[in-house]
Amino acid sequence: ERLAAAYITNLLDNQQQNDSLDYLINNRKLNTRTLRKYGVGRAVYSFPSNHKKGGGTSYESKECITFPWIMRASEVKEQENLRGAFYDWNHDDLLTDDDKEEEEKEKEVEENDVKEKQSTNQEEETKRFSTRDQLLREKGPWKTRRIKARSLTDKSQQRLDPPGGGWGLFGWHTVPDDATSLVITEGEYDAMAVYQATGKPAVSLPNGCRSLPVQVLPMLEKFEKIYLWMDNDGPGQEG
């Protein structure tokens, strides 16, 4: 959680030259509110270089945009059980200082959303925050399952951090618990664009149009309708 939070700060709160933020705002037309809600960040990762030195493989550092897969502790446990591993959680034990900070940030975002909706009355606000606290007790804190990092200059250079971790859906933590429909897109930028334009819950597949690991299927069972938002090309339509 601390690493993902540091990446977010590096993208959205860094006053130095920030090519990643410029790209996201000017090329992808995403605003900082959407980027912060989805937890998008910026980091430097090393990738194999095409220029080999002394016959061995050399590496070069690349500025990357990061996309976290965030899910509830109870969902992590279910995934681990599916692959024969063990993951137990207790709310009081797992709610670290970083978790508490993230929960407070989430609550602050929700409070700001409420303030913008003038039609929302006090009773509805109280019910909303009561439901949020109940979810925290029943499903546990949000946990960063993995972080997907993609080079700003070469989209073929990407990495899942940590290696060998579980699977998730980018944007899952933004989906309201009472949502009955969901938009699933091919890529991360598509998911954020859908949400920004329509306000509808939107997530992206872990690794492109052909990537829907069985581990994430239980997360989708509660939805009455799922809309697939794929690119209008061969791989997208096959997906």
Give tens-digit pLDDT for 146-178: 999 999 999 899 999 999 889 999 999 999 999
Short-list 107, 112, 100, CA closest to 130: 107
| Overall pTM > 0.85 | no
Contact at 8 Å (CB) between 1 and 143? yes
For the chain, the domain total comes to 1
Read off the tokens for 139: 């499903």
- In this predicted structure, what is the pLDDT of residue 83? 75
Task: Count Cα neighbours of 149 within 13 Å in the Cβ-side half-sphere.
Answer: 22
pLDDT recorded at residue 80 = 83
Q: Looking at residue 93, what is its pLDDT?
A: 47
Locate 234 and state its tokens. 């061969």
CA dist 83 and 26 (Å) reads 42
Structural domain boundaries, residue 46: 2-238
The predicted structure's pLDDT at residue 122? 58
Q: What is the pLDDT of residue 85?
A: 73
The secondary element (H helix, E strand) that includes residue 228 is strand 225-229
Assigned token pair, 157 = 């250079």
Identify the segments of the chain with pLDDT beneath 50: 93-94, 129, 236, 239
Give pLDDT tens digits for 49-83. 877 666 677 889 999 999 999 999 989 888 887 77
* Separation of alpha carbons 66 and 35, rounded Å: 11
Q: What is the pLDDT of residue 115?
A: 56
Alpha-carbon torsion 229, 231, 232, 233, what sign?
negative
Check residue 15 and give its pLDDT.
82
String of DSSP letters for 94-144: H--HHHHHHHHHHHHHHHHHHHH-TT--HHHHHHHHHHHHHHHHHH--EEE
The residue count for the chain: 239
